[in-house]
């Protein structure tokens, strides 16, 4: 028995979960170290997803625990509203500004990626309002995009299942096909360029299926935004901190965003933290004239000193161990380790090759016959000792950046075992 089947009922309502199923069979993770996690029975698994795309430095580092504990003893937490600051928040923002691909960037800190997205959306609209362009409120997102579960993030998210059931979504937002600059251009024209505040783009679509952009897409979209004065907001919540082999992912296309949202890899998940990197031009109106404009926005834990101390230590580890380029160095090896799966009955395609993330798409015919096939592949891979993640009609792989090439092979082997004998595949 590899899973911890709890016979009793749970009170824990899991996110994105069918609780009618999960209440009777929770998989209880008890310990983790490096690329490995253990369940409560002591069975070991390879964490092929870096948890939820975030454990970039791997799990269980004493150095991270020590940094958080030392900070908690010194200053556990304190608000940063108004003129309050703390040393870790100051140091972290200075460091992130130095790393940003735009000069003299400012950094707004949040509790996670969804907070960062809603921060960027509100800031984009407010920026245009104080420029005297109050009609510039429209925000364009992309099909298949995932920008978290907050109000605006849900409204510009392009995974259909996440958009329904809530009643009306936020107004003044629309979606265009994730892979077509022509579609973006047509939408800008239809809305009226002078009414479009911002365009949100994930460099590689993550939760929507691991979809690298077509060649030239990012550059052309950035150019279109620049030509019409539309703010380019790059959502690097997954793609940042080494996942694509650079600090923010977007450097791979050489374009300069107006804002970058981040979370996950900034602390490798040891503590929750997110934020928005903001260009000097967007920040300037708020930073210049006392009494002119205040951004009346920010979560309670913005600049939480213990979370910031964890982020600083995480950045140190990423740099010291040269982990940032790993996302690029290993991208070919990861795709190579999964490529043979394309020959399996039940596999429609293997996607990836840009950054340390990939997806294995299940044959639509198999899914039609066996609607639970994705969950079945996940369970079978888990039984074979590897944790992968269901992602719509595919399973996703996005291991910690510390993974070795031989361990990438283990992911391919476990998935092959999972697809062998998948019911309905033959
Ligand atoms: C690209 C992207 N943006 C935003 C978010 C939301 O982040 P959070 O779950 O921390 O709110 C996610 C989460 O997976 C994400 O993948």
Residues 164 and 195 occupy one common structural domain: yes
Mark 44-64 as b/e (b = at least 16 C-beta within 10 Å). Answer: ebbbbbbbbbbbbbbbebeeb
Residues 291 and 355 occupy one common structural domain: no
In the reported structure, the alpha carbon of residue 114 is separated from the centroid of ligand 1 by a whole-number distance in angstroms of 6
| Among 270, 301, 320, residue at a domain's last position | 320
Q: What does the pLDDT average to over 1-12? A: 65
Top mutation candidate among 110, 148, 261 for ligand 1, by most atoms within 8 Å of CB: 148
Residue 386 has pLDDT above 60, yes or no: yes
Q: At 87, list the tokens.
A: 């040393």
Residue nearest to atom 14 of ligand 1 (CA): 148
What's the confidence (pLDDT) of residue 1? Answer: 39
Q: At 37, list the tokens.
A: 């996690």
Residues 23 and 155 occupy one common structural domain: no
In the reported structure, the alpha carbon of residue 148 is separated from the centroid of ligand 1 by a whole-number distance in angstroms of 4
Q: List pLDDT tens digits, range 237-263.
A: 999 999 999 999 999 999 999 999 999
Q: List pLDDT tens digits, range 91-116.
A: 999 999 999 999 999 999 999 999 99
What's the confidence (pLDDT) of residue 422? Answer: 83
Report the atom number in ligand 1 closest to the C-alpha of 117: 4
Q: Which domain holds residue 410?
A: 19-56+325-419
Among candidate residues 340, 335, 328, 279, the one with its CA nearest the CA of residue 105: 279
Q: What are phi and psi of 357, to 5 degrees?
A: -155, 150
Residue nearest to atom 6 of ligand 1 (CA): 148
What's the confidence (pLDDT) of residue 290? Answer: 97
Residues 350 and 233 occupy one common structural domain: no
Q: List pLDDT tens digits, range 333-378.
A: 999 999 999 999 899 999 999 999 999 999 999 999 999 999 999 9
Q: Which residues line ligand 1 (CB under 6 A)?
A: 112-114, 117, 146-148, 202, 206-207, 235, 237-238, 263, 274
Residue nearest to atom 3 of ligand 1 (CA): 147
Residue 35 located in a structural domain: yes
Q: List pLDDT tens digits, range 28-61.
A: 999 999 999 999 999 999 999 999 999 999 999 9
Residue 396 has pLDDT above 50, yes or no: yes
**Beta pairing, strands 173-176 & 138-142:** parallel
Residue 2 located in a structural domain: no
| Among 299, 320, 341, residue at a domain's last position | 320
Higher pLDDT, 255 or 1: 255
Residues 227 and 278 occupy one common structural domain: yes
In the reported structure, the alpha carbon of residue 238 is separated from the centroid of ligand 1 by a whole-number distance in angstroms of 7
For 82-147, list the strands marked E by DSSP. Answer: 106-110, 138-142
Residue 228 located in a structural domain: yes
Residue 5 has pLDDT above 60, yes or no: no
Q: How many domains does the chain have?
A: 2
Residues 71 and 40 occupy one common structural domain: no
Q: How confident is the model at residue 318 (pLDDT cuts 50, 70, 90)?
A: very high
Alpha carbon of residue 165 to chain centroid: 24
Q: What is the pTM of this model?
A: 0.97
Q: List pLDDT tens digits, range 172-231.
A: 999 999 999 999 999 999 999 999 999 999 999 999 999 999 999 999 999 999 999 999
Residues 107 and 256 occupy one common structural domain: yes
Residues 223 and 105 occupy one common structural domain: yes
Q: Compute the CA torsion angle 180, 181, 182, 186 (nearest 10 deg).
A: 110
Report the atom number in ligand 1 closest to the C-alpha of 52: 14
In the reported structure, the alpha carbon of residue 186 is separated from the centroid of ligand 1 by a whole-number distance in angstroms of 28
Helix H or strand E segment including 420:
none
**Beta pairing, strands 274-278 & 106-110:** antiparallel
Among candidate residues 394, 349, 350, 352, the one with its CA nearest the CA of residue 373: 394
Q: Which of 1-5, 207-211, 323-327 has the lowest mean pLDDT?
A: 1-5
| Among 320, 341, 372, residue at a domain's last position | 320
Residues 330 and 315 occupy one common structural domain: no
In the reported structure, the alpha carbon of residue 117 is separated from the centroid of ligand 1 by a whole-number distance in angstroms of 8
Helix H or strand E segment including 328:
helix 326-329
Residues 261 and 142 occupy one common structural domain: yes
Residue carrying structure tokens 């004239």: 289
Q: What does the pLDDT average to over 65-75? A: 98
Residue 13 located in a structural domain: no
The enclosing domain of 341 has a CATH number of 3.90.1150.10
Q: What are phi and psi of 327, to 5 degrees?
A: -60, -30
What's the confidence (pLDDT) of residue 3? Answer: 47
Q: What does the pLDDT average to over 136-162? A: 98
Residues 213 and 184 occupy one common structural domain: yes
What's the confidence (pLDDT) of residue 2? Answer: 43
**Percent of all residues in the chain with a pLDDT value above 90, rounded to a whole number:** 96
What's the confidence (pLDDT) of residue 9? Answer: 86
The enclosing domain of 273 has a CATH number of 3.40.640.10
Top mutation candidate among 51, 113, 153, 249 for ligand 1, by most atoms within 8 Å of CB: 113
């Amino acid at each position: 028995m590899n899973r911890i089947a709890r016979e009793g009922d749970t009170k824990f309502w899991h996110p994105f979960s069918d609780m009618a199923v999960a209440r009777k069979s929770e998989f209880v993770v008890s310990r983790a170290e490096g690329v490995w996690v253990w369940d409560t029975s002591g069975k070991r698994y390879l964490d092929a997803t870096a948890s939820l795309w975030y454990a970039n430095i791997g799990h269980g580092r004493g150095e991270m625990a020590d940094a958080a504990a030392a900070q908690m003893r010194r200053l556990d937490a304190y608000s940063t509203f108004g003129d309050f600051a703390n040393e870790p928040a100051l140091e972290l923002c200075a460091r992130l500004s130095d790393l940003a691909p735009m000069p003299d960037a400012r950094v707004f800190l949040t509790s996670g990626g969804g907070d960062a997205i809603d921060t960027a959306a509100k800031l984009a609209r407010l920026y245009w309002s104080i420029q005297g362009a109050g009609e510039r409120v429209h925000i364009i997102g992309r099909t298949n995009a995932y920008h978290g579960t907050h109000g605006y993030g849900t409204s510009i998210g392009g995974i259909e299942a996440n958009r329904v059931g809530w009643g009306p979504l936020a107004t003044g937002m629309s979606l265009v096909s994730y892979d077509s600059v022509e579609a973006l251009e047509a939408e800008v024209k239809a809305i009226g360029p002078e009414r479009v505040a911002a365009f949100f783009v994930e460099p590689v679509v993550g939760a929507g299926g691991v979809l690298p952009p077509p060649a030239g897409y990012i550059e052309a979209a950035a150019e279109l935004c620049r030509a019409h004065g539309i703010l380019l907001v790059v959502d690097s919540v997954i793609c940042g901190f080494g996942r694509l082999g650079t600090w923010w992912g977007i450097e791979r296309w050489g374009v300069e965003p107006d804002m970058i949202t981040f979370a996950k890899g900034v602390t490798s998940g040891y503590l929750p933290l997110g934020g928005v990197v903001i260009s000097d031009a967007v920040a300037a109106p708020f930073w210049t004239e006392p009494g002119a404009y205040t951004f009346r926005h920010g979560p309670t834990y913005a600049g939480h000193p213990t979370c910031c101390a964890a982020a600083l230590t995480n950045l140190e580890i990423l740099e010291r161990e040269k982990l940032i380029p790993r996302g690029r160095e290993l991208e070919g090896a990861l795709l190579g380790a999964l490529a043979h799966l394309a020959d399996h009955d039940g596999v429609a395609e293997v996607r990836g090759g840009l950054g340390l993330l990939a997806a294995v798409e299940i044959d639509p015919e198999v899914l039609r016959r066996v609607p639970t096939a994705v969950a079945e592949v996940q369970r079978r891979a888990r039984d074979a000792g590897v944790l992968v993640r269901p992602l719509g009609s595919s399973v996703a792989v996005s291991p910690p950046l510390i993974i070795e090439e031989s361990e990438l092979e283990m992911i391919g082997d476990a998935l092959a075992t999972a697809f062998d004998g998948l019911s309905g595949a033959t």
